[in-house]
Structure 1
Amino acid sequence: MIPLSKIMDAKARLEGIVQNTKLAFAPKLSQICGAKVYVKQENLQNTGSFKLRGAFNKISSLGEEERACGVIASSAGNHAQGVAYSAKHYGIKGVIVMPEATPLLKVMGVKELGAEAILKGNNYDEAYAYALEYAKTHNLQFIHPFADEEVIAGQGTVALEMIEAQSHLTSIVVPIGGGGLISGIAAAYKQMLPSVRIIGVVAEGAPGMYHSYHKKEIQSTDSVRTIADGIAVRDVNPKNFEYILESVDEVVMVDDEEIANAVLYLLENQKLVVEGAGASVVAAVLHHKFALQTNESLGLVLSGGNIDVTMLGNIIERGLVRSHRKMKISVTLIDKPGSLQKLSDLLSNLGANIVKIDFDRTSTSLAFGDANIVIMLETKGKEHQGAIRSQLQKQGYVFIEV
């Protein structure tokens, strides 16, 4: 594992650059899981992610001549902004290669920090390969997002802050993409408080590290697909895999629905905007992915907050439907004056709020003289939706839920 002295050196370099983000008690989450839960709010870090720590530490550790050549990185977004921020700090050239599907928020964040953004490849690994070639042809220093000792040491400073804030934590839950964050955090804890359990969380759509950890040998995957773009890493890095085998006690997996639930939960209950990668650790707790110990005190690392607004909107809408606070129905009406008013009055009397109506007279599945009305309703829970269905049926309406 990374020597503790390297992590301590990184902490000194990062003074005045990164925030010592809050380790906040989460009362509702604690009540749900029956343990004391604290969340490390790296989503509120400068650049919106822990990645600044490793990027700045690596660049600051370069020699002056190396640094003056400029730097390049491949990233889904958060490491990109960390490198761009650091390059701007030192007044050097910064180039970032990102997958073509990277959220616009992260692309704009890089450009606003003065770095050049190149979109290349369908995933991180393809962007990485292009960045390595670009670094050679343009004489730039490549800053790896996770497979670098100085980067890992920088990420390990998260653990130093957590230990300083709450030394009694019994388990730390960390998202895993390439493995740099958990390698740094685990190294710090295992050398300072070795009894603390380290639990990693992998997205089901990027399962390489999960399968590799459990089979104790690297398992290849053909592709990745997850809303947690910050941990959407296809290939397992051999060195980081060794660090994880050495110092991580358990690795669990969550799917995209569980991650989306956690994003919405944090928004509603912690008033925190957290991206999918950061929310994965909360998903693991909400969906009971690991067993709790007696008198457990959990530390959850919310690794970043740079979620695309469109994605956040989709998560909110789907979450409202799943929690029975919205429902969409398609009703067939006789197309004559007063039909829609009658239906609207019925829904109003039931306490349902109409937020959207679509009207279709032209579908070939309709009888002449009929119309389909698709209505989006705000509702007050499962029982309320049941009452709406019951009344529609009693009044003879033909409808389906969509």
Structure 2
Amino acid sequence: MTIALPNKAELDTAVAIVYAAMPPTPQYSWPLLNEALGTEVWVKHENHTPTGAFKVRGGLVYIHELVQRSPEVKGVISATRGNHGQSVGFAVRRHGLQATIVVPKHNSKEKNAAMRALGVHLIEHGEEFQDSRVHAAQLAVSQGLHMIPSMHRDLVRGVATYWVELLNAQPDLDVIFVPIGQGSGICGAVAARNALGLSTKIIGVVSAHALSYKLSFEAKRKLESPVTAQIADGMACRVPDDESLAIILRYVDQVVAVTDDEVSAAMKLYYVATHNLAEGAGAAPLAAAMQMKQQLKGQKVGLPLCGGNVDHDQFARILSAC
């Protein structure tokens, strides 16, 4: 079953919820990036949100709506590689709730620290995200906590607000590139484009080391794929979400894959050209655009720098190696 995408009125109410907690983020066209890609590029700076990533918008809307319909809820739980957990932690503080977040072992130490700083009760379990999600669901039952999914209509409504900002500011974008993790980000892009009545082409981006969504897109059915991604951990998805996959199959124009090396090069390019930090998934759209540079000539391109939460040690290695 496919979730119904939010309409313009529902996105407007989501915008009001988000803006009660944070301002809109900027979009800039950077000369050195334009030069590198050989065309006009607009970067949406979701690395400038209060948590350094776009997911905070989804958390704000989800928790706001949860409290309205279920005021008896005292605690929530979810699984994440980092940015979703920060989003939940940031949002629940505004409503006096407690959040438990399950992350895989060997997760980003800096993302873990950021979640704990927001008051999150952090549990490390499993070797990959899917293991963490199963454990979180079990704890939700045993501890009486509300389980927040990785994909939900209210998360999409919240995430879509950044696409509303970008597409209102630059309505003549020919194409936008969107990284795919569990799918809320790209579904938000679809929702905003459709609600605004635009014809902007949407290209999904996955890691070449986590191909489940690309393989599923090409086969037109759900396929699992092993995960070996080291850099773009936000796209380390082994099993596609049914609802987001249905939306991707219906509305997304293309799905491309980028390697860890291409992502690393894009992270360095962002720093050199704009002096902005990009985590792996945050730089993946730029990596895909660089891969498709020849096809993009003469087109106006939108890129979300959707997260800047990269570990210091990892970024230092990338700057010195690329």
- Residues 152 and 180, structure 1, Cα contact 8 Å, conserved in 2: yes
Answer whether contact 2:207 2:229 (CA < 8 A) is retained. no
Equivalent pair of 2:177/2:289 in contact (CA under 8 Å)? no
Letter in 2 for 1:88: R
Q: Secondary structure at the match of 1:305?
A: coil
Q: Provide the residue aligned with 1:314 in structure 2.
A: 317
Work out the number of aligned pairs and report it: 317
Number of the residue aligned with 2:88: 83
2:266 maps to 1:262: yes
Matched, 1:13 2:17: yes
Q: How does 1:302-381 map to 2 (within 5 A)?
A: 302-319=305-322
2:36 matches 1:32:
yes
Taking structure 2 as the reference length, what is the TM-score of the superposition?
A: 0.94
Check the 8 A contact 1:208/1:220 in 2, yes or no. yes
Q: Which amino acid aligns with 2:145?
A: L
Give 1 or 2 for the bigger CA radius of gyration.
1
Distance between the aligned counterparts of 1:63 and 1:271, measured in 2?
Answer: 39
Distance in 1 between the 2:194 and 2:91 partners?
29
Identity %: 31
Which structure ranks higher in relative contact order (CA pairs < 8 Å, sequence separation ≥ 6)?
2
Partner of 1:210: 214
Alignment partner, residue 76 of structure 2:
71
Whether contact under 8 Å (2:210, 2:226) holds in the other structure is no
**AA of the residue aligned to 1:318:** A
Q: 2:193 aligns with which of 169, 180, 189?
A: 189
Q: Which residue of 1 aligns with 2:183?
A: 179
SS at structure 2 position matched to 1:94: strand
1:9 Cα deviation from its structure 2 partner: 2.1
Distance apart, 1:6 and its partner CA: 2.8
Indicate which of 126, 138, 141 corresponds to 2:143. Answer: 138
Cross-structure match for 2:55: 51
**Matched residue type, 1:310:** D
Name the residue aligned to 1:296.
299
- Distance, in Å, in 1 between the alignment partners of 2:60 and 2:210 is 27
The aligned counterpart of 1:153 is: 157
* Paired residues of 2:229 and 2:260 also in contact (CA < 8 A): no
Deviation at 1:289, TM superposition (A): 6.7
List runs of 5+ in structure 1 lacking aligned partners. 320-402
The answer to whether the Cα contact below 8 Å between 2:171 and 2:198 also exists between their aligned partners in 1 is no
CA contact (8 A) 1:87 1:94 kept: yes
- TM-score, scaled relative to structure 1: 0.76
Distance 1:209 1:290 in 2: 24
- The letter of the residue matching 2:14 is A
Q: Say if 2:125 is the partner of 1:120.
A: yes
Distance in 1 (CA, whole Å) between partners of 2:227 and 2:127 is 9
Q: Which runs of 5+ in 2 are unaligned?
A: none
- Residue identity in the other structure for 2:196: M
Q: Does the 8 Å CA contact 2:28/2:44 hold for their aligned counterparts?
A: yes
Q: Residue 104 of structure 1 aligns with which residue?
A: 109
- Give the aligned CA root-mean-square deviation in angstroms: 1.5
CA distance in 2 between partners of 1:241 and 1:49 (Å): 22
Are the equivalent residues in 2 in contact too, given 1:284–1:290 (CA < 8 A)? no
The structure where strand makes up a greater share of residues is 1
Letter in structure 1 aligned against 2:191: A
Report which stretch shifted further, 63-72 or 79-88.
63-72
Deviates more, 1:185-194 or 1:48-57: 185-194
1:162 is displaced (CA, Å) by 0.6
Amino acid of the residue matched to residue 26 of structure 1? W
- What is the deviation of 1:141? 1.1
